[in-house]
Amino acid sequence: MEYPPESPFLNSPFDECLTQVGFRKVLVSSNPSISSSSFFAAALVGTLFPTLVVARPGENRWNLLSEEEWYMDMMFRQDGNLLCLTNEGAIHEVELKNDKIVITEMAAPFHEDKSAFNMYLAEDCVGRVLAIKRDNDFSTKPETCDVKVFRFIGSNREESQWERVKSLDEEAIFVGANASITLAKQDIRGEIKPNTIYFTDEWWQFIGSERSKRRPRDICSYNLTSNSIKPCCPYKHRRCTWPLPIWIDLPNPNLILN
């Protein structure tokens, strides 16, 4: 699947596009100052029904790949390939081949549930792809009420299958509005717990009203060992603000921020 030649993004400069649409997530494949030949940027455009766009070196435009698919998350793997998770739970792989952008369905959907939830992609420390499903309770406010984790097994759609994950092998995973981060067991310290997934709040729908500013953000952790969910941010720091909170992976873990 190549991007449509009549895509509305093809002739839209980046600055103009930025003022007209909301970017849910933006990732880059590598450091462009180190490797420019294989570098490209990818973004999920739109907050409710995100579509996938990419930009390559020398282009001052975003290329819309498909208007028919909605994507919930994306990530660059350790091998540099871009994986995207559709709203139905399938995984698409995006590759740059001979100056053409090709999308291949790598895995069939991992769930059949059509209820409202967020989904994320992550990769464990040995390179296995994980899909994380986060359900919310809307009775009073969006609040995480259930989490399920699945691991992709196989190399293509015909040979692929999903298995339910009950343990992260003592690793910790951080997901949300930015790229997912995985910490190995030896890198976990302080208040971070092993076998735990940490979530930031990314309910874009609740950022505009005065009422939303008074509710606490849904920043929480899910521990696979105890199958429990609990807030992981002091209440006074959980108020709705803009921009949405993200996780930051400090290059120096001993750095103290005041």
Same domain membership, residue 92 and residue 121: no
Q: Which one, of 190, 181, 195, lies nearest residue 147 by Cα?
A: 195
Same domain membership, residue 246 and residue 119: yes
Question: Per-residue pLDDT tens for 178-215?
Answer: 889 999 999 998 889 999 999 988 776 555 556 556 66
Domains held by the chain: number: 2
Question: Per-residue pLDDT tens for 76-113?
Answer: 987 778 999 998 899 999 887 777 778 888 888 888 77
- pLDDT at residue number 147: 95
Q: Could you say which of 72, 94, 109 is where a domain stops?
A: 109
Structure tokens at 170: 């003592």
Q: Could you say which of 109, 143, 177 is where a domain stops?
A: 109
Q: Which one, of 239, 181, 238, lies nearest residue 210 by Cα?
A: 239
Same domain membership, residue 215 and residue 232: yes
- pLDDT at residue number 122: 96
Same domain membership, residue 246 and residue 133: yes
Same domain membership, residue 258 and residue 141: yes
> Distance (Å, rounded) from C-alpha 193 to C-alpha 223?
8
Same domain membership, residue 21 and residue 135: no
Range of the domain at 195: 112-258
Q: Residue 9 — pLDDT band, cuts 50, 70, 90?
A: very low
Q: Could you say which of 109, 130, 156 is where a domain stops?
A: 109
Residue 7 pLDDT > 60: no
Same domain membership, residue 192 and residue 224: yes
Range with the lowest mean pLDDT among 25-34, 142-151, 211-220, 222-231? Answer: 211-220
Helix (H, G, I), strand (E, B) or coil at 151: strand
Same domain membership, residue 97 and residue 116: no
> Distance (Å, rounded) from C-alpha 41 to C-alpha 51?
14
> Percent of the chain at pLDDT above 70?
73
Question: Per-residue pLDDT tens for 44-80?
Answer: 987 678 889 988 877 778 888 877 888 999 999 877 7
Same domain membership, residue 152 and residue 189: yes
Same domain membership, residue 31 and residue 80: yes
Question: Per-residue pLDDT tens for 211-231?
Answer: 556 667 788 999 999 999 998
Q: Which residue has the tokens 């108020």?
A: 239
Going across the sheet that includes 41-45, the strands are 23-28, 41-45, 51-55, 63-66
Q: Residue 134 — pLDDT band, cuts 50, 70, 90?
A: very high
Label each residue of 43-85 as H, E or C.
EEECCCCCEEEEECCCCCECEEEECCCCEEEEEECCCCCEEEE
Same domain membership, residue 132 and residue 92: no
Same domain membership, residue 142 and residue 125: yes
Could you tell me which residue, 25 or 165, shows the higher pLDDT?
Answer: 165
Which residues, 6+ apart, have CB-to-CB distance to 137 below 8 Å?
Answer: 143, 144, 145
Helix (H, G, I), strand (E, B) or coil at 118: strand
